[in-house]
Structure formats: structure tokens, C-alpha cells
Structure 1
């Protein structure tokens, strides 16, 4: 017979090596879950291992890894039920549509969408038995596709759609489906995204660089600036944990002040939103660039249109 202080249920968190994933794994462990924390390298496993956190090597695009995880769940030595699957793993690169190679588009969809679908399909039988919960980590980019966010936003828009459909399919079966939409959160993901963007930009043709170089610089500068003032990964993890544990969770939770802006998106004409996003980006262009001059001249009368 178990006592109330003993861990009763399993929670699975993908992309748990760093950032929100690692913070979520630890937060759920503090709340007495036994967390299977998906990581891709042994060194990450050693870093995340702790009371209530069991690392598992998991690349969500690898079918063998997913099968191994399912076997681990099915053969749990204590017969614990699965309370939640937190689909958190993601890759990001802020690159113009023209420049992002098609094989890179496919890779991003494999990680940010198809991998989550594969994980969900594999674990739904266990979640249906336990009347558990699927938590999909989306983004502000799942509602608003800013310049250079096309590939990343496309995967998150798609994840939002899959989540809506899955929620309606699972409602009669007692499985909750919740979307988390973070804005700026202080994690290592931004540094990786900027490094990826810089690598891809360095391979642009001179013509492409003339078209997009200042824009990519501005977007990365804006992202770095907003992230510095963003929420900590621990604060974001508490929102995810709330979505896992609430008796009547919302269908969506936003994280951060930028995320709150998405509530207004559906109320604005597209051109108005375009102007707001352009005005917010204007201060981040390299001084003296043609794009900075055009943006400044084109939006001098629109300074009040600022998303914050």
C-alpha cells in the first residue's frame, strides 16, 4: 500500500536537456511526479538526473527511441500510470522564407510537429487508460508569424491546429489537451536560434544578403533584447505544471507579456498588425542601413503602434 507522500504517476517531458524542458521536469518532480526526461546526450542525462527525474535518451524523430520509451512506460516497476506527456522539444531559426533550404524546412517540421505527433500517437493508449493529459508547447509564433519567423511559425501554427483537433477527439475519452504559448523566456534556445540563423545567413548570395541581411540583424537584436527581460525558465515551468495538475485546465495558457498580445491579433486588420510589427522592429536595424532609413521614414507617424 502506498502513502500520499509516494510518487504516484509518471510524467514525460521531451526536450528536457535545458531551458523550459529541464525546468519543467524538475518542477513536476517537486510536485511528486516521477518524470521521464527526454534528452539526446549522455552528458545531458547526467545533468538532469535527480530525485524524481529519470533521464531517457530520446530523439523524438527516432522511432526506435520512441518505442523504447513506450516499453519503459509499459514495464514501469511500480505500475505507475502516465499523467502527462509534455511535448516540449523544438528547434528554431529565424531565417527568411527564400533563404531557408527546403531540407531545413523538412527537418524543422520533423522535430517541431511530426515528432510530437509520433510521441502522442505512441502514448495515447496509456493516456486514455489513465485519463491523462497532453501538453503541447507552442509559441507566440503559433499565432503571429513575424518576418523571418516563417519556418518556425509554420510548425507552431500546425501544432496549434493538431492540438485543437486532438482536444476535440479526446474530450469524450477523458484526455485533456492543453497548448502552452510562451513569449520571451530566458533559455538557451535563443542563442542556438541566432547561431543557426547566422550560419545560414553567411551562406546567402550577395543579392540575398542585400535583401535580408539588415532584417535578420534586426530580428535577432529584437529577440535578444526581449529575451533579456523575459520570464525565467522556472517561472514558465510553473505554468506548464499548472496545466498538468489543474482539475479543469484551460485549453491554452500564455506565458510572458508578449504572449498576451496574441489576444489582440484576431481583432486587428492584417495591415495594421504589419505596421505594428514593423514599427517594433525599426530600432533594431543597423544604423545607416537602407532598411533602417525606410522603416524610420515610413513609420514616423506611427510611434504609438507598439505591441508592448
Structure 2
């Protein structure tokens, strides 16, 4: 799959990895449909692109079926009924103790990270050509190495990877490749959305939750924010996506970015208790069982 004249849809294109991917793929010669929820984000992408003639902004919210349907109809017309690849990048994250996270927050995360991804795949898969179409799904190292306070994000990414594995096997007889990108620590605006305001988050928990987790969550958030802000630039993920789109025989999984390979490898070789110790230590949390906790 060469870059020249290929037509690709990228969701979640307004910032971070999605933005870097849209700009990189269009510069490589592909025609890119950049899916954003707001028209002004699409206009900003075109302004930033060195090849705006190969970048077409489209409105798409993965949680709203009517926008998916309208986007599909538009792309089917504009592309001549053929889309060479789908890059499913849209996603949300949150960090909260499992004991106090509102169930509506969990449902909202899965709505974007799992159900919305499947809705896009179901809508656009018929446009992919047999024998050469590709689907690139943005997973996470967190699908394989869950961290404290990251159960919602890691759980939804693990579910999406399971969906992707099933899809890969189902589409094999049709000659359509499915690859999963597994970013490690990547420096994007998403870290602020995922970690948010620590004190504001703690203030919304029940009193018992603040007493149990307040000090631990502050410590975790400081370590996690430092790791992410010290991570790789989004361009490294964009280049990996380009590789997955153009390799004659793409890999099923592409760990990419800072610590990605290590974080996907160690869960396969270390016992759970050893891995728990390392995760707790890495995030500045107590490593012994039943350690007295600091006041919230």
C-alpha cells in the first residue's frame, strides 16, 4: 500500500496523535479525511498542513450515530466509494479509584473507546477494498499493564484490543489487515484531560474515598504526569501508523514511543506479585501490603 493517492479516514484528528497523524499522512501523499467533532478544529488542521489540498476535514462524533452516517455518506461520495484505510484514533481517558468512580463515567469511557470505535468500523468497513484494505486501531500499553487508578482507561483499551483481535481473524479471508498501535508515554494534551485537576477530582469523592485514596492519588498523579510529559512526541506514533499502512505485510501490533516495548513485554514474563511491586514503586505508591496511609 503505497502512500500516493491512497484515501484514509483518521478519527480523533483535532489534537495530539490524531493531529500528528493527519499532517504526516497527507504530507506523505495520501488523501486524508480528518474526522473532528468541531468544524473549527478541521479548519485549524488545514491551516497547519503543508498539503491542505490532500486534507479534507469531516465532522464525526463516534458517540453519535447520525454523525457517523452523515460522514460515511459524504466520504463515499467524495472518495468514489473507496476508502483504503481507517485509522481509529478517537479516545478518552480518566484516572479515578475504582471504589469511587461514577458508573456513568465508566459507561462514557467505554462509549467512546469501545462502542464508538465499533460503530465507525461497522459503518466504513464496506468501503474498504478486499485484498488491500487496512484498519489501524489505536490501543495502549495499558491494555496489557494496568496501573492503579487507571482501571477505566486500561479496561476499555483491553476490550478494544480484544475486539481488534477478533476483527483481524474475521477479515483475514477478505484480505483486509488489522493492526493495533500500542503507544507508550506520549506527550500530548490528553494527559491534562486524563489526570485533570487532582484536587477538584478528590473533592468530588465521598469522604471515605478521600480518606482512603487522597494522598495516594496525589502521589500517583504527580508521577504519572511527569512520565507522560517526559514521553515521546506524537510524531513517532504518526510514523508508526504510516508504517502500518504501507508495509507489505504489516505487524498485528506495533509498540511505539517511550517504554512501549518494555511495558508490553514485562507483563508476559513476570509473576503478578512482582509486577505489582514494580508498578507501585514506579508510581510512588506503597509496595508493602497494608501500609498505614497518610492523612488525605
Q: Is the contact made by 1:60 and 1:66 (CA closer than 8 Å) also made in structure 2? A: yes
From 64, 68, 71, the counterpart of 1:69: 71
Q: Aligned residues, how many?
A: 285
2:61 aligned partner = 59
- Decide whether aligned partners of structure 1 residues 44 and 141 sit closer, same or farther in structure 2, where only a CA change above 3 A counts: same
- Decide whether aligned partners of structure 1 residues 292 and 128 sit closer, same or farther in structure 2, where only a CA change above 3 A counts: farther
TM-score (norm 1): 0.87
From 25, 28, 43, the counterpart of 1:31: 28
Q: Distance between the aligned counterparts of 1:196 and 1:214, measured in 2? A: 14
1:163 aligned partner = 164
Q: Distance between the aligned counterparts of 1:244 and 1:166, measured in 2? A: 17
Residue 44 (structure 2) pairs with residue 47 (structure 1): yes
Residue 261 (structure 2) pairs with residue 260 (structure 1): yes
Alpha-carbon shift at residue 80 of structure 1 (Å)? 6.7
Q: Is the contact made by 2:130 and 2:176 (CA closer than 8 Å) also made in structure 1? A: no
Q: Is the contact made by 1:108 and 1:155 (CA closer than 8 Å) also made in structure 2? A: yes
Q: Unpaired runs of 5+ in structure 1?
A: 294-308
SS at match of 2:284: helix
SS at match of 2:226: helix
TM-score (norm 2): 0.90
Residue 19 (structure 2) pairs with residue 22 (structure 1): yes
Which deviations, in whole Å up to 9, do the C-alpha atoms of 1:269-306 show, x marking residues without a partner? 1111001111112279xxxx95479xxxxxxxxxxxxx
Residue 87 (structure 2) pairs with residue 86 (structure 1): yes
Alpha-carbon shift at residue 198 of structure 1 (Å)? 4.9
SS at match of 2:21: helix
RMSD after superposition:
2.3
Alpha-carbon shift at residue 12 of structure 1 (Å)? 0.6
Q: Is the contact made by 2:3 and 2:246 (CA closer than 8 Å) also made in structure 1? A: no
Q: Is the contact made by 2:130 and 2:175 (CA closer than 8 Å) also made in structure 1? A: no
2:179 aligned partner = 178
Alpha-carbon shift at residue 247 of structure 1 (Å)? 1.1
Q: Is the contact made by 1:181 and 1:254 (CA closer than 8 Å) also made in structure 2? A: yes
Residue 190 (structure 2) pairs with residue 189 (structure 1): yes
- Decide whether aligned partners of structure 1 residues 65 and 180 sit closer, same or farther in structure 2, where only a CA change above 3 A counts: same
From 10, 14, 23, the counterpart of 2:7: 10
SS at match of 2:85: strand
Q: Distance between the aligned counterparts of 1:278 and 1:111, measured in 2? A: 28
**Larger mean Cα displacement after TM superposition, 17-26 or 200-209:** 200-209
Q: Distance between the aligned counterparts of 1:140 and 1:201, measured in 2? A: 26
